[in-house]
Amino acid sequence: MAILKNEIISINGIIIGTQDIKELDKVIEILSDKLGRIKVFAFSARSPKSSNIAKTRLFCAGKFEITKSKDNYSLVSADIENYYDDLIMDYDKVLTASNFVKLIKSFTYENMDCTDELNLLCYSLNGLLNPNINDEVVSKIFEVKLAQISGIGEDPDVISSKLSLNPVNKQNLNKLINYIYAMPISKLYSFNLSGALHEDFLKISINFKDLT
């Protein structure tokens, strides 16, 4: 996407990394819909008087206005729709969310349309906050869907064949994987699992080793 010098552009995104620089400044990494994964300078964001202190924290999601000067992006303003405060307060959920970010970084880069990846990450963080669904199930659904939208999703029969399952359990697992492939990202975390299907689903392996 071509951006004119000092043009203000609005993007939807979520902060997936932060780094303090100098005395009061910060660099934030944003996974965005229009510009992909970018680093943005947030000048004076750590100043006690700055309105951007809370708006430039990890996992803040919403609309960001930025400008580009030479090769650098700068933050103009942020309208945060979700701070994910409850997630940030839970150490285990932060670790899981950080793993989501690590995997997504393997498939995203600057000037890439990351609408699907952005939606998947945000809905998956919401899934971690859903008390009706197990965090391990959320993680596995995330992996299966990420593989699919990134073009490395395997045929369900190939995935289930890696496990020693009886024909009925194998068929049920295949149906579940196909269900996840077909499901819109916004509906991914509207169900939970139990019994043998739950156990079998958590055993499947998505090969991200060569990418992380």
What pLDDT was estimated at residue 90? 97
81 within 8 A of 62, measured Cβ to Cβ: yes
Q: Could you give the residue ranges of the DSSP H alpha helices within the chain?
A: 85-88, 91-105, 115-128, 135-149, 156-160, 167-182, 195-203
Is 210 a residue whose pLDDT tops 90? Answer: no
Give me the amino acid identity at 85: D
> In this model, does residue 130 exceed pLDDT 80?
yes
- pLDDT tens-digit series, residues 34-59: 999 999 999 999 998 888 999 999 99
- 193: confidence class by pLDDT, cuts 50, 70, 90: very high
What are the domain boundaries of the chain? 9-84, 86-203
pLDDT confidence of residue 127: 97
Taking 60 as the threshold, does the pLDDT of residue 211 lie above it?
Answer: no
pLDDT over 90, % of the chain? 86
**Helices and strands in the chain: count of H runs, count of E runs:** 7, 5
> Model confidence over 106-127: pLDDT tens digits?
999 999 999 999 999 999 999 9
Place 148 in a pLDDT band, splitting at 50, 70 and 90.
very high
pLDDT in tens, 61-114: 999 999 988 789 999 999 999 999 999 999 999 999 999 999 999 999 999 999
**pLDDT grade, residue 207 (50/70/90)?**
confident
- CA pair distance 14, 28, nearest whole angstrom: 10
Q: What is the CATH number of domain 9-84?
A: 2.40.50.140
Q: Is 13 left (phi over 0), alpha (psi -120 to 50) or beta?
A: beta
Torsion angle defined by CA atoms of residues 147, 148, 153 and 155, in that order, rounded to the nearest 10 degrees: 150
Closest CA relative to residue 115, chosen from 40, 61, 36: 36
The more confident residue out of 48 and 169 is 169
- Inter-residue contact 66 to 73 (CB < 8 Å): yes
- Cα angle, residue 47 at apex, residues 99 and 50 outer, rounded to 5°: 90
The amino acid sitting at 50 is S
Which residues is 26 bridged to in the sheet?
20, 42
